[in-house]
């Protein structure tokens, strides 16, 4: 059996007979870390129920509030879209930012550090796996919300919609990678900070209402969270009243999202290297203070 | 024997309350902890305020606003107390890995679990108070202290907290037997009750076939009593429970609370027995 065949027949992350270096190692690490996130979901399908059911409860509550105050029907669609996007934010908080903290708690972090791979590749794998798995849940929420509450979509540009979504995801998960490095230095605070960063972000990012309801500078400040502009742009592109309720035009939002992608990904790389050094120097990598 | 028993009950509850408070609060300095405790509920309430404000053009005089705002504020207790008691099982078993030690300690586990909810009740109370105060100061929530029916308020609050603790014990009992979904059950139930109990919208908005779920839940009556005690005339403007007098609502709330209390006691007895039989008390799933 030649080496290529050997690599193909072994599952990701388990091949120790072939020495892989450079970008191949990077790629293999990405796939190996993304693998459990995707396969884990297949192995425990009932989790899908909770991941869809819980956000749907929140979405339904907000939809009924809109119905109680006789809001225009597009607002119901806004709430459904926002509810679907909460899946990504929660994934970034709990599955990216806090992940290295969990790994430290379980004793895996030290193994990651001493393995001959780059931490950046591990984070990228986490992001990729998390993004794909979460996309399925978000789609399910949109589908269910649309059917249950009869949401009408009017897509003006599929290309722009696809671009906005991909840029939002890249910037958001880049932000998650950056936050993961910061969380490396935390202990119990990590859980509390993730917990704290839910509702306040739903509020300032306009998950359940158009962000232009806020004064310009508050909305501009909230745009540091990629989902703020991403969600606003997507609403402008898929709802009839979207453009009238948009914060700024979609082209501007795409440019800002592009800038955020670069800033967060580069920031993640530098911050990770710095935090890794700091954590090794202070000996806090295996320090689990419950 | 009776004195020793009482002492054991009190010891379990008091130690658990102290332990819960330490776990909840000692990860940060008091100021940071205070900010943490109020930011989340204020943000949550603000989402509803903004939603309401943009649709009604900030017509906060409408009776619907205090209905939504107070319902949302008091619902903090549901997440705090009910989920807090249930969460103690997961926290001790999975995170701190101490549940097995609690079982061999000279305490009563149900009282210990109820005691663990006390810390969440205290932080929840702070959040409820701040949320309502913010509503009165910034949003002109029509809360006149001279018009508040304090006996009704405190009695309803007391019965409600007992009821939520019992519901928490019921969930905690089920959590003892769960492997895969123990993390989601309390959150799921709290979310479902938020939807079905008319916390932030009158039950009439729900599809007719879903309304009976709301009528069967004690939280629906509890929230109505709290609203009536604080903003009486405003709360009675909604048709949901208009045909019930305060006394009738109290009767329903107490009755349903007793039912949930009995259910919780039996559920704990059964789940505890099954968990011991199956060796689940010291299980760590790493899930």
pLDDT in tens, A93-104: 888 888 887 787
Give the other-Cβ count within 10 Å of A111's Cβ.
10
Q: What is the pLDDT of residue A145?
A: 93
- Using CA atoms in the order A250, A251, A257, A258, what is the torsion angle rounded to 10 degrees? 160
Closest partner residue to B181 (CB to CB) among A50, A61, A189 is A50
Structure tokens at A229: 């502009």
pLDDT at A12: 52
Of A169, A248, A202, residue with least CA distance to A78: A202
Q: Which of A69, A106, A203 shows the shortest C-beta gap to B47? A: A203
Question: How many angstroms from the chain centroid is the CA of residue A124?
Answer: 12
Please state, as a whole number, how many other Cβ atoms lie within 10 Å of the Cβ of residue A101.
Answer: 23
The overall average pLDDT reported for chain B is 88
Specify the pLDDT at position A238.
Answer: 94
**Is the pLDDT reported for residue A17 higher than 70?**
no
pLDDT for the residue A16: 53
Q: What is the pTM of this model?
A: 0.86
Q: Which residues from A are below 8 Å from B51, CB to CB?
A: 62, 65-66, 69, 71, 75, 208-209
Contacting B with CB below 8 Å, chain A residues are 44, 46-47, 50, 53-54, 57-58, 60-62, 64-71, 75, 106, 187-189, 192, 195-196, 198-200, 202-203, 207-210, 213-214, 290
Name the most confidently modeled range: A121-130, A188-197, B252-261: B252-261
Contacts of B194 in chain A (CB under 8 A): 57-58, 61
The domain spans of chain A are 22-282
Residues of chain B neighbouring A192 (CB-CB closer than 8 A): 27-28, 36
DSSP state of A11: P
Position A9 scores a pLDDT of: 41
pLDDT over 70 (residue B63): yes
Are the C-beta atoms of residues A138 and A85 closer than 8 Å to each other? yes
Residue B51's nearest CA partner among A175, A87, A76 is A76
How buried is B67 (Cβ within 10 angstroms: 0-12 exposed, 13-18 middle, 19+ buried)?
buried
Residue A104 has what pLDDT? 77
Residues B263 and B166: their CA atoms lie apart, in Å, by 8
For residue A284, the model assigns a pLDDT of 66
Sequence-ordered strand ranges (E) for A118-189: none
Is residue B287's pLDDT more than 70? no
Contact B54 A213 (CB under 8 A): yes
Question: What is the pLDDT, as a whole number, of residue A211?
Answer: 94
Query: Which range among A8-12, B223-227, B261-265 shows the weakest confidence by mean pLDDT?
Result: A8-12
pLDDT band at B83 (very low <50, low <70, confident <90, very high): confident
Question: Residue B10 CB: number of other CB atoms within 10 A?
Answer: 13
User: With an 8 Å Cβ cutoff, are B44 and A199 in contact?
Assistant: yes
Q: Which of A47, A62, A149 is closest to B194 using CA atoms?
A: A62
Task: Tell me the count of A-B CB pairs closer than 8 A.
Answer: 100
Q: Is the ipTM of this complex over 0.85?
A: yes
Interface test with B, best of A40, A47, A69, A213 (most B CBs within 10 A): A69
- Cα distance between residue B169 and residue B84, in whole Å: 10
User: What angle, rounded to 10 degrees, do the helices at B218-235 and B64-77 form?
Assistant: 140
Chain B neighbors of A219, CB-CB under 8 A: none
Query: How many whole angstroms separate alpha carbon B78 and alpha carbon B124?
Result: 9
Give tens-digit pLDDT for B170-218. Answer: 999 999 988 766 667 777 888 888 999 989 999 989 999 999 999 999 9
Q: How far is A66 from chain B (nearest CA, A)?
A: 8
């Amino acid at each position: 059996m030649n080496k290529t065949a050997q690599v193909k027949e072994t599952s990701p992350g388990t091949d120790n007979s072939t020495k892989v270096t450079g970008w191949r190692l990077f790629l293999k690490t990405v796939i190996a870390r993304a693998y459990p996130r995707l396969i884990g979901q297949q192995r425990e399908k009932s989790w899908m129920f909770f991941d869809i059911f819980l956000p749907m409860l929140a979405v339904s509550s907000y939809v009924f509030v809109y119905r109680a105050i006789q809001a225009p029907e597009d607002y119901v669609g806004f709430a459904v879209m926002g509810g679907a996007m909460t899946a990504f934010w929660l994934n970034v908080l709990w599955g990216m930012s806090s992940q290295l903290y969990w790994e430290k708690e379980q004793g895996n972090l030290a193994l990651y550090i001493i393995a001959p791979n780059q931490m950046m590749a591990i984070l990228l794998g986490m992001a990729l796996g998390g993004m794909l798995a979460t996309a399925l849940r978000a789609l399910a929420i949109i589908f269910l919300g649309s059917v249950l509450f009869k949401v009408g979509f009017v897509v003006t540009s599929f290309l722009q919609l696809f671009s906005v979504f991909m840029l939002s995801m890249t910037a958001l998960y880049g932000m998650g990678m950056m936050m993961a490095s910061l969380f490396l230095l935390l202990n119990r605070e990590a859980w509390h900070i993730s917990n704290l960063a839910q509702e306040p972000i739903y509020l300032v990012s306009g998950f359940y209402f158009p962000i232009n309801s806020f004064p310009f500078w508050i909305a501009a400040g909230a745009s540091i969270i990629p989902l703020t502009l991403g969600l606003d742009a997507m609403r402008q592109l898929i709802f009839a009243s979207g453009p009238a309720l948009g914060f700024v035009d979609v082209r501007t939002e795409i440019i800002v999202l592009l800038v955020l992608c670069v800033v967060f990904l580069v920031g993640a790389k530098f911050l990770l290297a710095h935090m890794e050094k700091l954590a090794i120097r202070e000996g806090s990598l295996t320090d689990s203070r419950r | 024997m009776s004195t020793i028993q009482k002492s054991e009950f009190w010891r379990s509850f008091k130690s658990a309350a102290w332990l819960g408070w330490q776990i909840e609060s000692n990860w940060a300095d008091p100021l940071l902890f205070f900010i943490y405790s109020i930011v989340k509920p204020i943000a949550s309430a603000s989402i509803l305020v903004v939603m309401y404000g943009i649709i009604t053009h900030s017509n906060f005089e409408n009776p619907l606003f205090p209905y939504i705002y107070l319902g949302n504020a008091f619902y903090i207790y549901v997440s705090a107390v009910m989920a807090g008691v249930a969460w103690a099982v997961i926290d001790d078993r999975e995170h701190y890995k101490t549940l097995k030690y609690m079982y061999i300690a000279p305490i009563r586990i149900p009282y210990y679990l109820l005691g663990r909810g006390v810390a969440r009740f205290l932080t929840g109370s702070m959040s409820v108070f701040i949320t309502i105060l913010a509503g009165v100061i910034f949003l002109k929530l029509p809360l006149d202290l001279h018009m508040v029916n304090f006996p009704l308020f405190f009695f309803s609050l007391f019965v409600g907290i007992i009821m939520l603790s019992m519901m928490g014990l019921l969930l905690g009992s089920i959590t003892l037997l769960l492997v895969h979904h123990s993390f989601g059950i309390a959150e799921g139930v709290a979310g479902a009750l938020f939807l079905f109990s008319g916390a932030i919208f009158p039950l009439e908005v729900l599809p007719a076939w879903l309304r009976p779920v709301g009528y069967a839940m004690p939280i629906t009556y509890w929230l109505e009593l709290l609203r009536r005690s604080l903003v009486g005339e405003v709360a009675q403007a909604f048709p949901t429970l208009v045909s019930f007098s305060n006394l009738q609502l109290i009767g329903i709330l107490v009755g349903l609370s007793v039912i949930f209390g009995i259910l919780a006691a039996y559920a704990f007895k059964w789940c505890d027995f099954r968990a011991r039989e199956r060796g689940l008390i010291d299980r760590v799933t790493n899930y």
